[in-house]
Structure 1
Amino acid sequence: MLSVIEPAALWLFVLAVPLIGTLWLNRAELLRRLSRLRLWLLLVVRLLMLAALVLAIAGLQLGRPVQATATVFLLDVSDSVAPSQRLAALDYIKQAVATADPDDRMAVVVFGARAQVERVAEPPRPLDRIDGLVAGSRTNIEDAIQLALAILPGAMHQRLVLLSDGGENVGQALNAARLAAARGVSLDVVPLVSDRGPDALIAALNAPSSASVDQLIPLTVLIESEMSGSATVQLLVDGQLRIEQPVTLTTGLNQFSLTVPAGERGFRRFEAYLMAPFDTQAANNRAVAFTFVSGPPRILVLTVAVEKVAALVNAWRASGFDVTVQEPIQAPVRPLDLRVFDVVALVDTPASAVPTTLQRALTTYVRDLGGGLLMIGGPQSFGAGGWRRSPLEPLLPVSLDPPVIEERFDLALVLVIDRSGSMNELVDGSRTQLDLAREAAFQASRGLTQRDQLAIIAFDSLAETLLPLQPLPDLFTIEGALSRLTAGGGTNIRSGIAMAAETITTADARIKHVILLTDGISETEYADMVSDLYAQGVTVSTVAIGRNTDPALERVARIGGGKYYAVQQVTELPQIFLEETVRVANRDLIEEPFVPILALPTPWLRDVGALPPLQGRNVVANRATGRMVLAAPDGSPLLATAQMGLGRVLAWASDLTGRWAIDWVSWAEFPRFTANLVTEVLPLSNSDRLSLTATVIADQVEIELTARDAGGLPIELNDIRSWMSGLALERDLVFTQIAPGRYRTVTTIDQVGAYLIQVYATDQAGQPLGNASIGVTVNYSPEYGRMADNPGLLEELAAFTGGRVNPPPTTIFTPTERTVYEVWSVTIPLLWLALALLPIDVALRRLFVPFPDWQAKMLPYTRRKVSGSTETPSSLPDKPPAPPLSEEERIAALLTAKRRQHREE
């Protein structure tokens, strides 16, 4: 069989007409140079070249009929297909393969929610097991057909065989069937008959979309059962079992009502479970729902002294807030768990008491989730609480580094730490005294600023400098020095004090201080050295840990003008070092009466009247990102706020307890003032400028965000931050703009559950627009429903493509009714032919062999051979020479040769 790819190119054969015409018109001149035979040969060669080029352009192909068949088996491995049905499908394939020829080809595609190639096209052989892993929660026949068409070999009879129950719940198989029909590929179907037992399933769990905290939430459970019997319904609220109720099921639809308290404000998730003894399908025994519970704002108070915040907590509760008080170690460390609270308040809490993971979570909670943060001061807050260089410090609206007063360093601090063998004693089952000493040294550095100097010296029998005196280094350098603090031998305190004296006397600092930490009795006397240091302006404090410490340490502290600490609980050591550093530096706390000054007129402060005096404050400085509302007499911030990302932060640089704010606690406006502190940082409520819609299709959730101004015009958004949270799922969402003011994202959820979608956005100017929230529920897949199979769809697919229903396995590899050819392209050989004919064409036109001259030369030899003469050519008489040409004849001959040469060119 001959065929061409581009039939239109055959019109190029008309070029043969001008080719023949040109030769015909110039035949007279050509015959003067070429013989008639050459002229005909030249015409034939050129026509052959033209034919070769035209056929090459047209894509000439040679084909021969083939009888081999390529079959792709599409095997349904979704959860609705029982194991016995899969075994029957494998047996069907085995029977079909037994009748195949060696030239046939087979491939296997397995599919559930997605399709996957189990076996590529290869010579037929039995399929004993399925190795591919696909999600069985859905049935996607369309994806399977498309993948099968993609791997079908060409130049063979083609056939698809679908082995399925037809329970499609993802995609449109008829769309893929149209593609198969357009390619002339038939689709045979083998229905897999279901053999499942009786089923009882939860058809729906209905809950109101919203409720208030003081009401009962009514829930309705709809259960479909194929037989009557006893069962149990369980209800979980936010993952906790709340109700377990026996029920009696009847055949058909059953309805049961439940009620639960709304509980706390927030997003409430409900899960209903059905347990029936006769049920054979457990996957459809679960349903989910959600309700938004509204109520007063929730505040999480974090403090290390719960009893000291009672007045503040009572004031907030009197204002209608829902207040939860916890120690920092009890607080959740996931930002989305913190987001159930509107505001988090850190009340006189040191940084060492707040785990680093919680500090990072609070940063995300404010910046990305729009939560509010209050930092309430006190002796253990701000700089005095070691918050410098903490993960939370950049979030504060105030700086923790007081302004520079002198050009020299503020404090030169030398830590002299005992590393004798006794420091290896365990204190809490896992940490040694030396471990706590390292942590204490690290916490002491938290009380320093960049205007301070630090040195660390360790001693046992001898002293060693772990960190030379230098401006406060970074945390990694300090940690590296402390890593060399390992237990050694004896307790020679004098060697440590001597090295400290040598180090600190050269320092240029306003305050010079040494902290000595030891757990034993010194082997040498060192009080005289401490006295000399004090005479030179260097103070010395001592810290005694353990039961066998030197009684002289208290006397040494008095001699050195410092303070003596007898540590009762060794775990308090890090906080003691921090407090001692803050005390010596004398810059983070000011304890003297003052009256706050209004720095920025604020509506909620105008009507409170005169402000009571405070007895002390934390020393902080202005920060460019902050907005100072109240100030101390020296102009430093007392109350400052800042917008940090999507949330707000407020810093109150004094306490709200009986120590500094004793007059405030008894002030009539105290509840109103503290309530306004919370109101200042409350997250923006659900904005009327942002709206969310969510559509769940199979395992795809499409979320659309619309932003409109007060006039209904679209708003272009600058920053969109969004999250989807649930019991087993937590992920960020990325929105793409699809129209002015409209943004969309699509995410996949393959787990049953109720999910909360939260979106926070800012406009082009960076101003927050508020937030929007919506809930979505993803219940069990239709794969596990009552109508899981669909034999009607299988029959429709077969009819649409000209396939068969339940064909015998022995006919699967028989050729189809179409004639199929194996085709070879001859384009390249034709081009080679045209190229080979080109030099022949040139030779016919340009190459002339002087036959007459050779004939004349060979004539004498020929005559001798014919006559039988044995004479040599030299003995034959010579041909008489031609008479010489005259001058005119010679010129005429040359002119004739020249004209002939021109004609040939």
Structure 2
Amino acid sequence: MGIQFNEPWYLLLLLPLAAFAVWAWRTYPARGGWRRRMAVPLRSLILLLLILALAGLQTVATMEQKAVYFVLDRSDSMPAGQTAGQWIQASVSAKGEKDLAGVISTGLESLVERQLSGEGTGRIAYDGKVNSQFTHLAGGLQLAGSLFPESVTPRIVLISDGEENAGDLLRQARLLQNKGIPVDVLPMAKEAGRDISIESVKVPEKIYQAEKYSLEISLNSTFAGTGELRVYEDNQELTREQVTVEKGENRFALQSLAREPGFHRYRAEIYFPDDEQAANNSGYAFSRVTGPPKVLIVEGKPGSSSNITAALTSGLIGFTIISPEMLPSELADYTGYDSLILNNVPATRISGPKMERIEQAVRDYGIGLLMVGGEDSYGLGGYFKTPIEKALPVKMELEGKREVPSLGLILVIDRSGSMGGGKLELAKEAALRTVEMLRDKDTVGVVAFDTSPWWVVEPTRLTDREKVMEQISSIQPDGGTEIYTAVDAAYQKLLKVEAQRKHIILLTDGQSATSQSYEALTGNMVQNNMTMSAVAVGDGADGQLLEYLSKLAKGRYYFTNDQSTLPAIFSRETVMMSRTYVVDQPFVPAAGQLADWSGLFGDGVPKVKAYVAATAKESAETILLSPEPDPLLVRWQYGSGRSVAWTSDFSGKWSPDWTSWDRFPEVFSRLVKWTFPQFQASAFEVTSRLEGDQVRLDLKSADPAFQGEIQATVTDEALGTTELAAIPTLPGEYEAQVPVRQPGVYLTRIDVQDPADRSKTLGSSTTGFVIPYSPEYRLSAGDQTAKLKQLADMTGGRLLSSEHPEEVFQGAVQAKKQSRDRTRLLLAAAALLWVADIAARRLNVPWSRLAERARRRFGFSGRPVTVPSAPAKMERLGRRKDQAAAFYRSLGEERPPNQVPGAGLMKRGEDALAEENRKAQAGKGPSRAPVRDRPGGGEGKERPVPPPDQPVQGETAGRSETMSRLLAAKKRRQ
């Protein structure tokens, strides 16, 4: 233990401090012995502490302690087994008593499995979760280097195969070298297995329709063999061939013809019987085929799109017709179309994830959307609060339109154990959406059932909507299934509800435990003007019973294997019961905001028989209106795309005059073409390449003098969106980096902004890149352990052996000094001493009196206390009077006795003596001699005493002068 100073020059102040202490001791006035003895040392000590604080006093201790962090590579490329963990355990067990050891796991992320500890025994658990699809060794070294305390001799041991594919290991080595932290390495050699991988798939980024193109596939193999190569375009097989590969790199080229325009994805797959690693057997590529526009028609009823297809054919617009269940599941598939038409499609037939992809395709990638009405569309189709409603220019609610009947609604929800795994959560979401749609005057009740019914929400008016929604959210799955008692309980409660329409929605995924008379129950419902609809979830539900019940109760039956459609089913049921959405009365539409469509509708339009009521959104353009007024034709811009809503139909049932109108093909083609992407051709060439866990986008302009700004929007398979600003690197060239965490398909939209007005887009293009598998699974070229050896050489580390784990803690320990700043401690001590100094100078504590009181109170033994008698007290008082008189004579003047300090007390004493003398003369006590005026009244003269009510002469006038003289004398004495 030693000391040192940061600013030793301040110690020169100790010389004037010593001089001050000597001078203060000699000249400090006496205030009692103990005060003088304490005041000077206290002040000198305070100043000494302040000088030491200014000098930066530090205590220094010498430490000799090793600390080792083991950084373990836990990526998928590491050899399987517990070899590395066992080696670490053996090394920790052989460390010294004072040595410390810790463990860090690294993959794409790094985490501490065990903090630095002196424990040498016990199993080390590797429970932390890291992304093992990447190897980021630099991250593990950086974390370890930041955790060492200053008092130890640090060392890092890296255990890895050297297959780095993220970060820069050697750059981190230089940083550790500057910090003086050596890195030992234990190379874990990976055995060469039988593996074949697809390294790349290349296809031209732009192809014209009917053009032949080459698709190049690069393979890498560790063995020679024969297998099968398959190539797909948008999940449709293009070719399947038998190929023979040699050890090392192999290339194949396939010829194909671009048939359909749009954005296409190509996938290549290989199948070899002896391949040990399947994760690297696929590769992807993107290309855009330029040609006529293409539209995807989704029809709710087969054969109902004949009028639409005829209009598109006359407008030279290509199309594809599918059912709602055939909608693509991946966002990339929607980018192959210019627009999407939903022709009278109910939301109950479109899953939630597919709706989200349609909405994002419109918002982010400019795909058009046109919804055509009918009995299964808009609010009647259950689109309330769906992603598609977001993209449409109309809302499903009727805001303040017409008086609709009041509704009493009971939701009977199965909460048995089989409803777990997400079913019950979606059922609760459906119930919550239903509550949102109802009005305050409506009545709602929720009964959950397993083997018996449980009222979650008793039938109540929706005056406290939030409370009802909280109660619905509390339902948990448990128990069996008993349908009859739950439906009967709902019927009994609904009898007491006052509403114009009464309805029950039954949802279950199972079969009832008992079979009872449902006919009588449903008959009573119909007799009391109630209806009931049933929803069967999954193949395990008793579909026959539920369909039978819905028919008996004059309701509707739904079956779904996709639980994400439950909210749409409940919304549809609520709308059909509570609102009259279909307006069935002929009218001629009125013109609204025609804008650039004035040439289409300016000369008049045919009449319409019926439509589905909706509400136009605030920023939408209402082109045609009904007399209500309700919107008939509405359009708006939604993000990068456009959408149009036609609330009547085009099948001929509600609008026969429109479909027979000679201008209908032209009008409908214009509606569809307005929704097409409005981007101009981009003047940029976009390429992408994977660099570790980053994808680098390189953009090159055809004009080298271009200086605008470029925005890139990247969307992954989970619909997560990342917006990036491209950075200029060279004239006309830009770069953007996108972090990727998982393999998959990534769509990218490039927007070129106008330099003069950033709100304007000069051009856009859609491209994409694919991470078919992590670079962790690529076949390595060469010896990757050479980089580990270079790491050890740069940092002064060692190349360890798997046979000798104990050598990690061997070697000399470099002694390290640990200093601690004591400035705050010195300042705190100085503050406390300063308070003690103030107390010593300002406080006069009668210690003897306090001690005497303590002895009396607590019975302490000590010397006897003598209490003076009355004559002794008078004698002492006289001596004090003589001392005061002598003091005033020294000042050159006489003072009347009454002006002497203590005169009042002496007067009272003389009065007491006179009283005693009178009593003695009367024979009642002994007599005493009066007190004489010894200072100036003459020996033997009795001092005159004035009457009590007569003021002493000059007393008031002389009191102030006396005090002044006393103060002056005090100062002269000092």
Name the TM tier (shorter chain): 0.5 to 0.7
- The within-5 A match list for 1:644-723 is 644-652=638-646, 655-657=649-651, 669-685=663-679, 688=682, 696-701=690-695, 722=713
- Cα distance between partner residues in 2 of 1:585 and 1:840: 89
- The within-5 A match list for 1:180-259 is 180-197=176-193, 200-239=196-235, 242-259=238-255
Q: Deviations over 1:501-550 (max 9, x none)?
A: xxxxxxxxxxxxxx9999xxxxxxxxxxxxxxxxxxxxxxxxxx999x99
Cα distance, 1:667 vs structure 2? 6.0
Q: Where in structure 1 are there 5+ consecutive unaligned residues?
A: 418-441, 501-514, 519-544, 551-565, 849-880
- The within-5 A match list for 1:573-612 is 588-591=583-586, 606=599
Match of 1:299 in 2: 295
Cα distance, 1:260 vs structure 2? 4.2
Match status 1:114 vs 2:109: yes
- Cα distance between partner residues in 2 of 1:818 and 1:455: 77
Match of 1:642 in 2: 636
Residue pair 1:269, 1:289 contacting (<8 A) in 2 also: yes
Cα distance, 1:232 vs structure 2? 3.5
User: Per the alignment, in what secondary structure is the counterpart of residue 134 of structure 2?
Assistant: coil
- Cα distance between partner residues in 2 of 1:822 and 1:585: 83
Give the residue type in structure 1 aligned to 2:498.
Answer: P
Moved more, 802-811 or 698-707: 698-707
Cα distance, 1:599 vs structure 2? 6.2
Match status 1:343 vs 2:339: yes
Residue pair 1:105, 1:122 contacting (<8 A) in 2 also: yes
Cα distance, 1:123 vs structure 2? 2.3
- Cα distance between partner residues in 2 of 1:655 and 1:838: 93
Residue pair 1:348, 1:379 contacting (<8 A) in 2 also: yes
Residue pair 1:60, 1:826 contacting (<8 A) in 2 also: yes
Match of 2:286 among 287, 290, 306: 290
Cα distance change on mapping 1:736 and 1:901 into 2, 3 Å: farther
Match of 1:74 in 2: 71
Match of 1:733 in 2: 722
Give the residue type in structure 2 aligned to 1:801.
Answer: T
User: Per the alignment, in what secondary structure is the counterpart of residue 520 of structure 2?
Assistant: coil
Match of 2:767 among 760, 774, 784: 774
Give the residue type in structure 2 aligned to 1:489.
Answer: A
- Cα distance between partner residues in 1 of 2:781 and 2:343: 59
Match status 1:141 vs 2:171: no
Residue pair 1:302, 1:328 contacting (<8 A) in 2 also: yes
Cα distance change on mapping 1:43 and 1:20 into 2, 3 Å: farther
Cα distance change on mapping 1:25 and 1:462 into 2, 3 Å: closer
Q: Deviations over 1:152-210 (max 9, x none)?
A: 34423332222333333322334433443343332223333443246544332222112
Cα distance, 1:145 vs structure 2? 1.8
Match of 1:530 in 2: none
Match of 1:155 among 151, 157, 163: 151
- Cα distance between partner residues in 2 of 1:627 and 1:247: 58
Cα distance change on mapping 1:620 and 1:32 into 2, 3 Å: closer
Residue pair 2:408, 2:499 contacting (<8 A) in 1 also: no
Residue pair 2:682, 2:752 contacting (<8 A) in 1 also: no
User: Per the alignment, in what secondary structure is the counterpart of residue 114 of structure 2?
Assistant: strand
Cα distance, 1:313 vs structure 2? 0.9
Cα distance change on mapping 1:48 and 1:187 into 2, 3 Å: farther
Residue pair 1:100, 1:124 contacting (<8 A) in 2 also: no
Match of 1:489 among 520, 531, 534: 520
Q: Deviations over 1:376-397 (max 9, x none)?
A: 45677678x6789685678665
Residue pair 2:114, 2:124 contacting (<8 A) in 1 also: no
Cα distance, 1:698 vs structure 2? 1.3
- Cα distance between partner residues in 1 of 2:820 and 2:219: 64
Residue pair 2:207, 2:258 contacting (<8 A) in 1 also: yes
Cα distance, 1:241 vs structure 2? 5.0
Residue pair 1:379, 1:589 contacting (<8 A) in 2 also: no
Cα distance, 1:95 vs structure 2? 5.0
Identity %: 26
Residue pair 1:455, 1:469 contacting (<8 A) in 2 also: no
| Larger RCO: 1 or 2 (CA < 8 Å, sep 6+) | 1
Residue pair 2:197, 2:280 contacting (<8 A) in 1 also: yes
Match of 1:724 in 2: 715
Residue pair 1:462, 1:492 contacting (<8 A) in 2 also: no
User: Per the alignment, in what secondary structure is the counterpart of residue 155 of structure 2?
Assistant: strand
Match status 1:103 vs 2:129: no
Residue pair 1:143, 1:171 contacting (<8 A) in 2 also: yes
Match of 1:468 in 2: 498
Match status 1:268 vs 2:270: no
Match of 1:172 in 2: 168
Q: Deviations over 1:803-839 (max 9, x none)?
A: 3333764443245463224656666776687679879
TM-score (ref. length: structure 2): 0.61
Cα distance, 1:744 vs structure 2? 10
Match of 1:83 in 2: 80
- The within-5 A match list for 1:271-420 is 271-276=267-272, 282-331=278-327, 338=334, 340-347=336-343, 366=362, 370-377=366-373
Cα distance, 1:221 vs structure 2? 1.6
Match of 2:746 in 1: 755
Residue pair 1:692, 1:773 contacting (<8 A) in 2 also: no
- Cα distance between partner residues in 2 of 1:462 and 1:172: 72
Aligned residues: 754
Moved more, 112-121 or 599-608: 599-608
Residue pair 1:157, 1:815 contacting (<8 A) in 2 also: no
Cα distance, 1:655 vs structure 2? 4.7
Moved more, 269-278 or 331-340: 331-340
Cα distance, 1:256 vs structure 2? 1.0
- The within-5 A match list for 1:833-872 is none
Give the residue type in structure 2 aligned to 1:468.
Answer: E
- Cα distance between partner residues in 2 of 1:694 and 1:416: 55
- Cα distance between partner residues in 2 of 1:47 and 1:636: 93
Q: Deviations over 1:244-277 (max 9, x none)?
A: 3222223443221123454544433333334456
Match of 1:795 among 750, 765, 789: 789
Cα distance change on mapping 1:832 and 1:366 into 2, 3 Å: closer
Match of 2:9 in 1: 11
- Cα distance between partner residues in 1 of 2:836 and 2:606: 116
- The within-5 A match list for 1:807-846 is 809-814=805-810, 816=812, 818-821=814-817
- Cα distance between partner residues in 2 of 1:11 and 1:253: 72
Cα distance change on mapping 1:635 and 1:256 into 2, 3 Å: same
Give the residue type in structure 1 aligned to 2:13.
Answer: L
- The within-5 A match list for 1:35-74 is 50-74=47-71
Give the residue type in structure 1 aligned to 2:770.
Answer: T
Cα distance, 1:901 vs structure 2? 6.5
Give the residue type in structure 2 aligned to 1:134.
Answer: V
Give the residue type in structure 1 aligned to 2:797.
Answer: G
Cα distance, 1:321 vs structure 2? 1.9
TM-score (ref. length: structure 1): 0.65
User: Per the alignment, in what secondary structure is the counterpart of residue 215 of structure 2?
Assistant: strand
Residue pair 1:733, 1:745 contacting (<8 A) in 2 also: no
Give the residue type in structure 1 aligned to 2:722.
Answer: L
Residue pair 2:72, 2:103 contacting (<8 A) in 1 also: yes
Residue pair 1:67, 1:815 contacting (<8 A) in 2 also: no
Indicate the RMSD between aligned Cα atoms, in angstroms.
Answer: 6.3
Residue pair 1:216, 1:260 contacting (<8 A) in 2 also: yes
